Structures are given as structure tokens and as C-alpha cells.
């Protein structure tokens, strides 16, 4: 007898968060089966504690870690292994888990690992791209899951909340009620906003009575330090694990800045947000709902999906004073 459903989503922060509606769909479709997830170790705190999950398997990103995990998974019996990531490592884990059937996206070089394949991108409305969480949900439904909506959710433990309270107090924001998290950097250069633009926004927020907390992910420390020098009144969140980051964001009035993982965390925690888009497409990455606003470049090459660009002018063309007005107005309408 098969023992459960195995879901594989190794990284990244935004997509791990956006996979949670698909996980709920799997649990609704197989309520009597165990639902277990494989993800890289740093994302475990966001998933442990979700009621639909019975176990989260942490993956060390090494060959030895992968082989050790596969050996452990093969001791179990899985009805389905569903790969929501689609790289070589995740496809290997899904196929080598010993599951009766494997499912994943129709991707070159990985498609042969799966018994059932669905297109990675599908447009329900012509000319309108599919929201990223909807693509994951579509894969879950294809293997027997039952739709449970598209709202993302993450777990925040008591320890994470305590760590968040301590870090905010250390930043001098422990008792502040109007704190906005600002993400100035991007995962790659084409998603970043110029530091001068982000600094003007931060100063406008401070002038409007908001405290500003600069949020940085791995590799973004230098850009955040440069922004902090331009805005002496802003505070910088020190490096922390993702559980503590979720605990911090849960206490903020809003998260604004680049299209980023912290913004998806904000949406999953019911915190209003506002982001700007250039090479990435808001139809794919902007959370649904009026409390999650965005501003998109009007250049004809927008939404190209490039991670680097020889003429990069989509985000610099977004006027900083206008961006500040849009963000301040958005927070006035939606932030508590």
C-alpha cells in the first residue's frame, strides 16, 4: 500500500511561498494520505507547522545530501512524487524516490523523469500570463488535487516571533506601529531599482511618518548598505533565518520595493505591499487583491524575463518622486 504524496520544491523564496496553494490542493485531493515536502534547509521554517503537511524533509545542497535524502525517501512508499521545481536535482529526487508515479512540468531535459507532464506556462485568457501560484495549483490538480484557492500561506513559529520581536527592538522599532519594510535590491540586476530612486522613496516614507526597515536577502548586503548610507534615518534588519524574517514581516504595516521573496511573504501573512516591475511580469508575480499594488514600466520590452540587460532602462525610467507618491497613497489606503 502506498503511504503518501511527496511534493518537491527546493527553492526559491517566492516560489516556495507560492507553492503552498498547490500543497493544500494535494491534501484536499488525498485527505487520507500523508503529504510530505522536500525543500532546501533554509525554507523549512516557512513550511513546518502548516496544517496540511505531515513532514518537511530538509535538503542539503550537495551531492552527498541529495543521495542521502533519496535513500531515506526510498524506504517509504509514495503514491505520487510531484516536482514543483523542475531542475535536474528535483527531477532526480522525484523519480528516484520510488514513487509509483511522478509528475512535473513539460521542460526540456527533465520531462522524461515524469509519468505525467503539464505545460509550465499556460494562459487562460489570451495575452494574459498565468499567475505563478496558479501554475503550481494546475500541476497539483492534474494529479488528483482539489482546488483550495490561490492565497499563499506560511507558518510562523513562536520562536520566530520571539526572534522577530528581539530584532525589531534592537533596531529601535520594538514599539513602533507604522513600520514599512523596503526591499531596495533585486535577485538579479535587471530586477533592482537604482539606489538613488529607493533612497528618495525611503526619505518620502520617513517624511510621511513611517519608520523604514531595510530588508536584504543573501547577496544583497552591499546594495542595502549603500542605501542605508543614503538614508541615515532608515534601520537595517540584520541577517536572520527565514522563520525570523517571516516573524518580522508579520509585524510590519507594509512591504514595498522590488518584486521579491519578502513581498510574497508579506502577501502570505496578510501584510499590504507595493512593488515595481520591469523585466518581470506583474501578471505572473503580483499577488491578487487591491492591497498589493504595483507600477510597471511602459517600455515596449517590459516583461522580457531577462536577468541581465545591456541597456537596462525599464526600472530606472520609473520616476522616483511619482513612485513615492504612489507608495504613500497605497499605504494610506491599505496599511493598518
Residue 191: CATH number of its domain: 3.40.50.2000
183 lies in some domain: yes
150 lies in some domain: no
149 lies in some domain: no
1: pLDDT strictly greater than 60: no
Average pLDDT over residues 62-81: 95
Dist CA 263 CA 244 (whole Å)? 15
71 lies in some domain: yes
Residues 310 and 177 in one domain: yes
SS3 state of residue 34: strand
Residues 283 and 230 in one domain: yes
153 lies in some domain: no
Last residue of a domain, one of 95, 112, 142: 142
Residues 310 and 168 in one domain: yes
Residues 12 and 127 in one domain: yes
Residues 134 and 223 in one domain: no
* Cis peptide bond upstream of 185, omega within 30: no
Last residue of a domain, one of 112, 142, 172: 142
Residues 128 and 233 in one domain: no
H or E element in which residue 104 lies: strand 101-105
Residues 112 and 218 in one domain: no
> 138-147, 156-165, 207-216, 316-325: which range is least confident on average?
316-325
Dist CA 133 CA 37 (whole Å)? 17
116 lies in some domain: yes
Task: Report the DSSP pairing between strands 34-40 and 4-8.
Answer: parallel
222: pLDDT strictly greater than 70: yes
Residues 202 and 227 in one domain: yes
196 lies in some domain: yes
Looking at the structure of the chain, the number of domains it has is 2
Residues 222 and 311 in one domain: yes
> Given this model, what pLDDT does residue 112 score?
87
200: pLDDT strictly greater than 60: yes
Calculate the CA 93 to chain-centre distance. Answer: 22
For the chain, what percent of residues have pLDDT higher than 90? 76
SS3 state of residue 298: coil
C-alpha pair distances (Å), 323 with each of 74, 82, 125, 201, 326:
52, 40, 29, 7, 5
Residues 55 and 92 in one domain: yes
> Given this model, what pLDDT does residue 2 score?
59
Dist CA 189 CA 262 (whole Å)? 17
Last residue of a domain, one of 95, 118, 142: 142
312: pLDDT strictly greater than 90: no
Cα first-last separation, the chain: 50
> Given this model, what pLDDT does residue 127 score?
67
Domain hosting 110: range is 4-142
> Given this model, what pLDDT does residue 295 score?
92
H or E element in which residue 328 lies: helix 320-334
Residues 8 and 130 in one domain: yes
H or E element in which residue 205 lies: helix 195-207
Average pLDDT over residues 117-132: 82
Q: Which of 206, 202, 213 is nearest to 194 (CA)?
A: 202
152 lies in some domain: no
Residues 207 and 66 in one domain: no
Q: What is the CA radius of gyration of the chain?
A: 20
Amino acid at each position: 500500500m502506498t503511504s503518501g504524496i511527496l511534493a518537491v520544491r527546493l527553492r526559491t523564496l517566492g516560489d516556495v511561498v507560492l507553492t503552498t496553494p498547490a500543497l493544500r490542493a494535494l491534501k484536499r485531493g488525498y485527505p487520507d494520505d500523508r503529504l510530505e515536502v522536500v525543500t532546501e534547509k533554509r525554507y523549512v521554517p516557512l513550511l513546518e507547522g502548516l496544517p496540511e503537511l505531515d513532514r518537511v524533509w530538509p535538503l542539503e545542497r550537495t551531492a552527498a545530501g541529495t543521495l542521502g535524502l533519496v535513500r531515506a525517501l526510498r524506504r517509504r512508499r509514495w503514491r505520487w512524487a510531484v516536482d514543483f521545481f523542475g531542475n535536474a536535482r528535483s527531477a532526480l529526487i522525484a523519480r528516484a524516490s520510488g514513487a509509483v508515479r511522478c509528475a512535473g512540468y513539460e521542460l526540456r531535459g527533465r520531462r522524461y523523469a515524469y509519468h505525467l507532464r503539464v505545460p509550465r506556462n499556460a494562459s487562460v485568457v489570451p495575452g494574459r500570463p498565468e499567475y505563478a501560484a496558479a501554475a503550481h495549483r494546475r500541476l497539483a490538480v492534474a494529479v488528483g488535487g482539489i482546488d483550495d484557492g490561490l492565497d499563499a500561506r506560511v507558518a510562523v513559529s513562536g520562536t520566530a516571533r520571539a526572534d522577530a520581536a528581539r530584532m525589531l527592538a534592537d533596531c529601535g522599532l520594538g514599539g513602533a506601529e507604522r513600520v514599512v519594510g523596503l526591499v531596495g535590491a533585486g535577485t538579479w540586476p535587471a530586477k533592482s531599482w537604482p539606489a538613488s530612486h529607493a533612497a528618495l522613496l525611503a526619505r518620502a516614507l520617513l517624511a510621511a511618518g513611517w519608520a523604514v526597515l531595510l530588508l536584504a536577502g543573501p547577496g544583497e548586503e552591499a546594495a542595502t548598505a549603500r542605501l542605508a548610507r543614503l538614508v541615515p534615518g532608515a534601520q537595517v534588519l540584520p541577517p536572520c533565518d527565514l522563520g525570523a524574517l517571516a516573524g518580522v514581516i508579520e509585524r510590519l504595516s507594509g512591504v514595498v520595493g522590488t518584486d521579491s521573496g519578502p513581498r510574497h511573504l508579506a502577501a502570505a501573512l496578510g501584510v499590504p505591499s507595493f512593488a515595481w516591475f520591469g523585466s518581470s511580469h506583474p501578471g505572473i508575480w503580483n499577488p491578487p487583491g487591491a492591497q498589493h499594488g504595483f507600477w510597471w514600466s511602459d517600455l515596449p520590452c517590459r516583461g522580457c524575463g531577462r536577468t541581465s540587460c545591456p541597456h537596462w532602462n525599464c526600472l530606472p525610467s520609473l520616476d522616483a518622486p511619482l513612485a513615492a507618491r504612489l507608495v504613500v497613497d497605497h499605504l494610506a489606503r491599505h496599511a493598518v
